[in-house]
Amino acid sequence: MKYPLVRKHLIMVPFGQKLSIGTTPNTAIEIEDPDRLIYSVLSKCNGETTVEEIHNNIIEDFPSISIDDVKDIIKQVADMPYIMEDAELANHSNLNEYYRERHSRNINFLSNFDPKGTQKYEYMEKIINTTVILIGLGGVGSSILYNLASLGVKKVIGIDYDTVDLSNLNRQILYREKHIGMNKTDAASETIREFNSDVEFIPEYRKLSGYEDILNIIKTHNADFVICAADKPPLWIYRWTNQACLETNTPWIYGGNSETTSYFQTIIPFESACYQCKEKYIYANFPEAVEKYESILEGGYDAQNNCLTASSNVLGSFVIFDFIRTRTGIEKPLSINKLTYFDYKTYKIDSESVPIMETCSCHDMPLKGGETNENHYQSTK
């Protein structure tokens, strides 16, 4: 390592005869360090100092320590995952200095999934170089759009046909009082432009009326990912998105709120269960639920929303973690083949299985252009 760096977000605490690196219980590493030599070396591994300079800096306090001893200490710690990296890595990244600074804390977080510290910039690039279609700019959509913009996702197409009204302001944090009466797409565009001008937000003020509408938007923008944060028309919006995403081999996530719970499912076409699999599973296993399901499909419902900003943000943020997993390949998304839900009355996080159904058309559909799905995610484990 030319410029050894102890990851900047790790806290080092010398105590007793030991040095603790990191503070999370069970994952913090404790090293025997009775004379504080290791602490002295590591605290100088700031990514801007060479091993020779580090040795020069400690020689006064530790006159018997050679440069090879310093190299040994650095190597031993560098062999432990998630602690050190070579700061020179940043110079090989395609992200310029502005992006590396703006997203430095995002990159720090991503480094928690990068044992050797060699891929975190690449992960960040993959996230940035994404075109996302966001269906619905209400409470959950607000949270998701802020999350996408703070991750620096380069292009987001936001679809909604509503206008901002007073009762939206309890949870739809994209909007201000001055936006009341304005199209949500235009108001969201204004907010996101002020928040992160690197993000190209494309407003699509329109009411979706079928899967073809979503298909056309995916194709027009060559989208990489779809997030459905809309609940109207009930269930149909998921059906349409599912069909459009299967046809274009586009990963997608849907999520929503009901009473005091939030739920979401991540769908990787042809690899995980799709929304149609979920319907087929209900029809095959829960005949008593079918009548109710079909009644909603036919007649919809007309009920007021009961969300807080808090519940929209929790859901929106969970969705984003699976979005990050899928785009970067740091690990498999966690909410595939199941509906994950959490209850604010109990803080209980649970899931319902959604198996891949052999009777589902997704099972037989050929991949677009004979592609494999390896690009959707690649497990690093």
Residue 272 near Zn ion by CB under 5 A = no
How far, rounded to the nearest angstrom, does the alpha carbon of residue 303 sit from its chain's CA centroid? 30
Quote the tokens at residue 263.
């739920």
Residue 20 near Zn ion by CB under 5 A = no
Residue number with CB closer to Zn ion (326 or 337): 337
| Binders in 124-183 for Zn ion, by CB under 5 A | none
Distance in Å, CB of 356 to Zn ion, minimum: 6
Count CA within 13 A, CB hemisphere, residue 197.
2
Distance in Å, CB of 350 to Zn ion, minimum: 22
| Binders in 179-238 for Zn ion, by CB under 5 A | none
Among 276, 311, 312, 340, binds Zn ion (CB under 5 A): 276
Residue number with CB closer to Zn ion (48 or 352): 352
Residue number with CB closer to Zn ion (61 or 371): 371
d(CA 117, CA 84): 7
Among 10, 151, 173, 277, binds Zn ion (CB under 5 A): 277
Residue number with CB closer to Zn ion (182 or 290): 290
**Between helices 139-151 and 309-328, what is the axis angle to 10°?**
40
The 8-class DSSP code of residue 272 comes to: S
Angle 266-268-271 from CA coordinates, rounded to 5°: 125
Whose CA is closest to 171, among 136, 137, 139, 141? 139
Whether 311 contacts 362, CB under 8 Å = no
**Between helices 275-285 and 236-248, what is the axis angle to 10°?**
130
The 8-class DSSP code of residue 367 comes to: P
Whose CA is closest to 129, among 225, 219, 196? 225
| Residue span binding Zn ion (CB under 5 A) among the ranges 3-11, 174-182, 205-213, 267-275 | 267-275
Binding mask 331-360 for Zn ion (x = CB under 5 A): -----------------------------x
Residue 267 near Zn ion by CB under 5 A = no
Distance in Å, CB of 273 to Zn ion, minimum: 6
Residue number with CB closer to Zn ion (243 or 311): 243
Residue 362 near Zn ion by CB under 5 A = yes
Is the peptide bond preceding residue 233 cis, with omega within 30 degrees of 0?
yes
Distance in Å, CB of 282 to Zn ion, minimum: 13
Residue number with CB closer to Zn ion (180 or 297): 297
| Residue span binding Zn ion (CB under 5 A) among the ranges 19-27, 146-154, 268-276, 303-311 | 268-276
Distance in Å, CB of 113 to Zn ion, minimum: 29
Distance in Å, CB of 373 to Zn ion, minimum: 14
Residue 274 near Zn ion by CB under 5 A = yes
Residue number with CB closer to Zn ion (201 or 240): 240
Distance in Å, CB of 295 to Zn ion, minimum: 23
Whose CA is closest to 224, among 320, 145, 117, 131? 131
d(CA 78, CA 42): 10
Residue number with CB closer to Zn ion (118 or 359): 359
Whose CA is closest to 157, among 169, 144, 167? 144
Residue number with CB closer to Zn ion (220 or 361): 361
- Going from the C-alpha of 40 to that of each of 117, 175, 219, 309, 341, the distances in angstroms are 22, 50, 56, 46, 47
Distance in Å, CB of 246 to Zn ion, minimum: 8
Distance in Å, CB of 251 to Zn ion, minimum: 14
Contacts of 84 (CB under 8 A, 6+ apart): 1, 4, 5, 6, 7, 45, 74, 77, 78, 117
Residue number with CB closer to Zn ion (223 or 274): 274
Distance in Å, CB of 364 to Zn ion, minimum: 10
**Residues at the site binding Zn ion, with contacts judged by CB under 5 A:** 274, 276-277, 360, 362
